[in-house]
Amino acid sequence: MRQSSRSVLPGFGVSLGITCTYLSLMVLLPLATIFTRTADLTWDGFWGTVTNPRVVASYRVTFGASLVAALVNTVFGLLVAWVLVRYRFPGRRLVDAIVDLPFALPTAVAGISLTTLYASNGWVGRYLEPLGIKVAYTWVGITVALIFIGLPFVVRTVQPVLDDLEVEVEEAAASLGARRWQTFTRVVLPTVAPALLTGFALAFARAIGEYGSVVFISGNMPMKTEIVPLLIITKLEQYDYAGATAVALVMLLASFALLLTINLMQWAARRRAGA
Amino acid sequence: MSIQVRNLRKTFGDFVALDDVSLEVPGGELVALLGPSGSGKTTLLRIIAGLEAADQGTIHFHGEDATTQPVRERQVGFVFQHYALFRHMSVFENIAFGLRVRPRPVRPSEAEIRDTVMGLLKLVQLDVLANRRPSELSGGQRQRVALARALAVKPKVLLLDEPFGALDAKVRKELRRWLRRLHEEVHVTSVFVTHDQEEALEVSDRVVIMNEGRVEQSGTPEEVYEGPATPFVCGFLGDVNLFHGRISHGRVHIGDNELDAPEWSDAPDQAGVAYVRTYDVEVTPSPTGGASLEAVVRHSRAFGPVVRLELELVQDGATVEAHVPRGRADSLRIAKGQRVFLSPTNLRVYPRGASPS
Amino acid sequence: MATLAFSRPATTAPRAIERATGESEVIRWTLTATALAFLALTLVLPLVLVFHGALAKGFAAYLAAIREPDALSAARLTLLIASIAVPVNLVFGVAAAWCISKFEFRGKYLLITLIDLPFAVSPVISGMIFVLLFGMHGWFGSWLFDHDIKIIFAVPGIVLATTFVTAPFIARELIPLMQEQGTEEEQAAIVLGAGGWQTFWRITLPNIKWGLLYGLILCNARAMGEFGAVSVVSGHIRGETNTLPLHVEILYNEYAFAASFAVASILTLLALVTLALKTLVEWRQRRSAAERADTDDSLERIAA
């Protein structure tokens, strides 16, 4: 990587050197092990591992629950962002700060707390049990935990966009005869849609890799409520390094694809805003 | 559709934006609300639109009370200073918006909408840009789209909030003339807000001058310019010199000079201010019979047909600006440092207390 | 905008839309109530439950659980890890932000994407890669064994995994901030004769101090609370390779719920402090950004 323009400021060499060395040793090298390890497996071995029914079931659980959780977060995240930006009520600033709790709270703490909350004798679980709704130790519980984890991603991505919305545009729509609902669906929502999509993708990406908050409430029953991260750990404990790497590789590729998509969406949004 | 505004009052916290404002806009006229920042003109416009609610007073459209009517029922078209176009929609969709959100029973068909929108695009001369996004248009083009969008719903009243304020001077002039022509074609009752007096005087049928939440004067451009009713209007329109002096027995004393001020012949003696337009200051090389104030030419600059002189009064060092026709300036051979004599004509005299300086 | 400045609250306060374009009272209150109910159920209830569970057996038991030797050594280990991971990532973050934001070079955007990688990787995988590297059957496994160096299932492994996971935090915070601030001030300093370090300390650092603090707070919170990655590399050896989050898990799995919540409550308090600091820093950031804007405005006005 060469400097293409001569710069007056010093420190380029040093800072770039530190950055590249650090990234190579701390990030690229460790990540490379996954690829080299999987290369050890033959294609059949890889495919066999990855299509094993238990593994497939875990993919279904992880991706399925993450998808549902991200969708729920998209709807309610928009609602929360709207209320925080548009309305005044006592304690608004406090509520605004609390939204970041899932960012700050260690996942294990969230995990044990949610499990206790939704167990059949828990504060919430006890009301759902008679209704026949079991949350703890089912995929519903997994989804609940993933909702907790992903909420701030949607809210924080949508909030600035809502904040920047010009009042005049809504006034214009009203002066042209639009009812409030029409203004919301035809003017506000299309403007917020890109941010919503990005928030959804971020929540989804976080959810598929989540371990700590989920592993307590899921019950970890193979084929039913076993999430992929747990399956990887199980394989590692059994010294099935190859198997663990194979499963992890699929996850990694999915995560990278999501990361790429998210960055592309944000780049497209920046271009549209700049134009 | 005429507009009757009666006794409107609006405060924002401690700030009084409108203080007992009453106004009549005859149907079909193009009226300008003119005044400095903070005069309340935009607030008045927005209250007429229904975008804000007054604390007291009423608004009637053609005799019908609209004071509590929500904005979307008032059938007003509103054009914003920064256009407020829907960025995610094309030009066509922007203009069609008002028609598309009509309730099903009264919604025109897509074919009818298309006809209306294309007709409007031709009217504003943007028909080739129907499928573009607002971000691809220039400021002037965007404003025309905003206007077409407001006209699409056939409003009874068209309200424009400093519509050309965000544009370059040249584009502003073009669009000003274009608005005038449009109004002559479409004939919707229109009210527009501006702080640019040239714009207001050039375009409108009637000018309403506002200051500090009150209407100072309302009349045709000629009326307000030639016959300013208050010191504020006098000072606001055109370039003006202020001469401080005393009013006594129907004459005003400025320094050693006395000028006629017959309208104050019955008034008690008091301090006063005389407003004199820059082109009403006569410049002579020697004192004339009437009032002659001695002054020194500090600066002279030719601007086309007019020579602008900056003069310093000998008696008190005050600065006076005089605009003299080129021919006259040449024949006087005006030069820097030259001693001349000024003769103010067409004075408008007001007592000192009444003049907001 | 032509309207009066004080008829619109600042953008960071809620935009109270006038009656013309607002929803009806009923709808507003319904939406607000729904949002608050959702947040109460999703966020507040679990939070409250931690403290309730911690004190379930009384305050004495709470103190005992926290003072228990294994808990204390877990706390010590957690602090040790944070005290290594955070400064290391601070240096990395500042270096990366400096070269990316102040210079133009090919591959810049690739670098930014690489910095984001640890964010995209699942915590368990983040731990696993170090096992693959330094574990018994890993790349360096036999070499380490021969030299009797333990990384996996020992403290160094935990440090490495935590450092990996928290690597992007400070860089991600500083890069957009420094990009936005540009290079003019630094260039001015260089022209006036300042050296590289001087420029950084006296010009760059004061400008980025709030963003830096913000990144540090987040990095620290994550370093202390990391669970998945640490779970893989630590071996769960009580008293030796247990961090506070792992200790919470162990107690919970042993059905010592009150003790588990007690230790969890410490971490929760840390999280709440993090949130408070975060809010404070955001507030100061907004203030200093507003001041910068004001200075630019008044300079524009003077120049105009």
- Summarised one tens digit per residue, pLDDT across range B219-259 is 999 999 988 888 899 888 888 888 888 888 778 887 777 77
Residue B240: the pLDDT is 87
User: Which is it for the CA torsion B64, B66, B69, B75, positive or negative?
Assistant: positive
pLDDT confidence band for B28 (50 / 70 / 90):
very high
Is B271 at the interface with chain A, CB within 8 A? no
CA–CA distances in Å: residue A18 to residues A167, B17, C94, C211 = 47, 60, 10, 21
- The average confidence (pLDDT) of chain C is 85
> Can you give the C-alpha Rg of chain B in angstroms?
25
The rounded distance, in Å, linking the Cα atoms of B77 and A172 is: 9
Among residues B325, B335, B339, B253, the alpha carbon closest in space to that of B295 is found at B339
DSSP assignment of A44-75 = HHHHHHHH-HHHHHHHHHHHHHHHHHHHHHHH
Residue A156: the pLDDT is 93
Average the pLDDT over each of A233-237, A243-247, C114-118, C196-200 and give the range with the smallest value. Answer: C196-200
Is B13 at the interface with chain C, CB within 8 A? yes
The rounded distance, in Å, linking the Cα atoms of B326 and B348 is: 26
Residue B356 has pLDDT above 60, yes or no: no
3-state DSSP assignment of residue C189: helix
The token pair that represents C134 in the structure block = 């330094």
| Chain A positions in Cβ-Cβ contact with residue C12 (cut-off 8 Å) | 163
Number of Cβ within 10 Å of residue B148's Cβ equals: 25
Average the pLDDT over each of B292-296, C60-64, C261-265 and give the range with the smallest value. Answer: B292-296
Q: Give the residue from chain C lying closest to A17, CA to CA.
A: C95
> Residue C24 gets which letter from DSSP?
P
The token pair that represents A146 in the structure block = 């993933």
Residue A275 has pLDDT above 80, yes or no: no
Summarised one tens digit per residue, pLDDT across range C75-117 is: 999 999 999 999 999 999 999 999 999 888 888 888 988 898 8
Summarised one tens digit per residue, pLDDT across range B127-148 is: 899 999 999 999 899 999 999 9
Whether residue C17 contacts residue A183, with contact meaning beta carbons closer than 8 Å, is answered with: no
Q: Give the residue from chain C lying closest to A162, CA to CA.
A: C15
Residue C300: the pLDDT is 59
The one-letter amino acid code at B189 reads T
Is B199 at the interface with chain C, CB within 8 A? no
Residue A236: the pLDDT is 87
Is B97 at the interface with chain A, CB within 8 A? yes
Determine the distance in angstroms separating the CA of C187 from the nearest CA of chain A, rounded to an integer: 7
Q: CB–CB of A100 and C278 under 8 A?
A: yes
Q: Is A136 exposed, middle or buried (0-12, 13-18, 19+ CB in 10 A)?
A: buried
Determine the distance in angstroms separating the CA of C38 from the nearest CA of chain A, rounded to an integer: 8
Q: CB–CB of C271 and A34 under 8 A?
A: no
The rounded distance, in Å, linking the Cα atoms of C14 and A26 is: 43
| Chain A positions in Cβ-Cβ contact with residue C132 (cut-off 8 Å) | 30, 33-34, 37, 241, 245
Q: CB–CB of B72 and A177 under 8 A?
A: yes
Residue C266: the pLDDT is 94
- Backbone phi, psi, residue A120, to 5°: -65, -20
Residue A139 has pLDDT above 80, yes or no: yes
Q: CB–CB of A79 and C31 under 8 A?
A: yes
Residue B109: the pLDDT is 92
Q: CB–CB of B84 and A171 under 8 A?
A: yes
Q: CB–CB of B193 and C2 under 8 A?
A: yes
Q: CB–CB of A172 and B80 under 8 A?
A: yes
Q: Of residues C248 and C141, which shows the higher confidence score?
A: C248
Residue A256 has pLDDT above 90, yes or no: no
Whether residue B344 contacts residue B259, with contact meaning beta carbons closer than 8 Å, is answered with: yes
pLDDT above 70: percentage of residues in chain B: 98
| Chain C positions in Cβ-Cβ contact with residue A73 (cut-off 8 Å) | none
Query: Helix-strand-coil percent breakdown of chain B, rounded to 5?
Result: 30, 35, 35
- The secondary structure element, H or E, covering residue B340 is strand B339-344
Summarised one tens digit per residue, pLDDT across range B289-338 is: 666 788 898 998 988 899 898 998 888 888 889 898 988 888 888 888 88
Whether residue B121 contacts residue B148, with contact meaning beta carbons closer than 8 Å, is answered with: yes
What number is the average pLDDT over the span A1-16?
A: 70
Q: Give the residue from chain C lying closest to B11, CA to CA.
A: C7
The one-letter amino acid code at B91 reads V
User: Which of C4, C23, C24 would best serve as a mutation to test chain B binding (most B beta carbons within 10 A)?
Assistant: C4
Average the pLDDT over each of A140-154, A180-194, C133-147 and give the range with the smallest value. Answer: C133-147
What number is the average pLDDT over the span A6-34?
A: 87
Whether residue B191 contacts residue B33, with contact meaning beta carbons closer than 8 Å, is answered with: yes
Is B86 at the interface with chain A, CB within 8 A? yes
Of A168, A171, A176, the CB nearest to B153: A176
Is B51 at the interface with chain C, CB within 8 A? yes
Q: CB–CB of A33 and C187 under 8 A?
A: no
The rounded distance, in Å, linking the Cα atoms of A269 and A267 is: 5
Residue A56, Ramachandran bin (φ over 0: left; ψ between -120 and 50: alpha; else beta): alpha
Residue with tokens 């609250």: C9
Is C124 at the interface with chain A, CB within 8 A? yes
- The secondary structure element, H or E, covering residue B281 is strand B281-284
Residue B269: the pLDDT is 82
Is C1 at the interface with chain B, CB within 8 A? yes
Residue C297: the pLDDT is 66
Determine the distance in angstroms separating the CA of C6 from the nearest CA of chain B, rounded to an integer: 8
Of C125, C139, C249, the CB nearest to A232: C125
Pairs of residues, one from chain A and one from chain C, whose beta carbons lie less than 8 Å apart: 319
Residue B190: the pLDDT is 94
What number is the average pLDDT over the span B83-91?
A: 92
> Can you give the C-alpha Rg of chain A in angstroms?
23
Residue C20: the pLDDT is 63
pLDDT confidence band for B110 (50 / 70 / 90):
very high
Summarised one tens digit per residue, pLDDT across range C143-198 is: 888 888 888 888 999 999 999 999 999 998 899 889 888 888 888 888 888 888 88
Summarised one tens digit per residue, pLDDT across range B61-71 is: 988 998 888 88
Residue C3 has pLDDT above 60, yes or no: no
Summarised one tens digit per residue, pLDDT across range B13-24 is: 889 999 999 999
Of C17, C196, C275, the CB nearest to A11: C196
Residue C302: the pLDDT is 60
Of C1, C6, C20, the CB nearest to B51: C20
3-state DSSP assignment of residue C163: helix
- Backbone phi, psi, residue B283, to 5°: -115, 125
Q: CB–CB of B76 and A172 under 8 A?
A: no
pLDDT confidence band for B44 (50 / 70 / 90):
very high
Residue C7 has pLDDT above 50, yes or no: no
Q: Give the residue from chain A lying closest to C136, CA to CA.
A: A239
The token pair that represents C18 in the structure block = 């006038």
User: Which of B10, B12, B83, B159 would best serve as a mutation to test chain C binding (most C beta carbons within 10 A)?
Assistant: B12
Residue A5 has pLDDT above 80, yes or no: no
Residue C15 has pLDDT above 80, yes or no: no
Distance of CA C156 to the CA centre of its chain: 21
What number is the average pLDDT over the span A131-150?
A: 91
DSSP H helices in chain A:
12-22, 29-40, 43-51, 53-86, 92-98, 101-104, 107-118, 125-128, 139-164, 167-175, 180-183, 189-209, 212-215, 228-237, 241-274
Which residues, numbered 31 to 60 in chain B, qualify as contacts with chain A under a Cβ-Cβ cut-off of 8 Å? 49-51
Residue C10 has pLDDT above 50, yes or no: no
Which residues, numbered 19 to 48 in chain B, qualify as contacts with chain C under a Cβ-Cβ cut-off of 8 Å? 38, 42-43, 46
Residue C204 has pLDDT above 60, yes or no: yes
What number is the average pLDDT over the span A201-216?
A: 93
Residue B235: the pLDDT is 86
Is C128 at the interface with chain A, CB within 8 A? yes
Of A28, A83, A259, the CB nearest to C120: A259
User: Which of C172, C227, C252, C263 would best serve as a mutation to test chain A binding (most A beta carbons within 10 A)?
Assistant: C227
The rounded distance, in Å, linking the Cα atoms of B190 and B203 is: 11
| Chain A positions in Cβ-Cβ contact with residue C246 (cut-off 8 Å) | 108
Is B242 at the interface with chain A, CB within 8 A? no
Residue C189: the pLDDT is 87
Q: CB–CB of A173 and B51 under 8 A?
A: no
Angle at B92 between CA B89 and CA B95, to 5 degrees: 90
Q: CB–CB of B101 and A187 under 8 A?
A: no
Q: CB–CB of B84 and A275 under 8 A?
A: no
Determine the distance in angstroms separating the CA of A176 from the nearest CA of chain B, rounded to an integer: 5
Q: What is the pTM of this model?
A: 0.84
Measure CA of the first residue to CA of the last residue in chain B; give whole Å: 38
pLDDT confidence band for A146 (50 / 70 / 90):
very high
Q: CB–CB of A34 and C132 under 8 A?
A: yes
Q: Of residues C285 and C58, which shows the higher confidence score?
A: C58
Residue C1 has pLDDT above 80, yes or no: no
Pairs of residues, one from chain A and one from chain B, whose beta carbons lie less than 8 Å apart: 67
Of A171, A178, A187, the CB nearest to B51: A171
Summarised one tens digit per residue, pLDDT across range C170-179 is: 998 899 889 8
pLDDT confidence band for C281 (50 / 70 / 90):
confident
pLDDT above 70: percentage of residues in chain C: 90
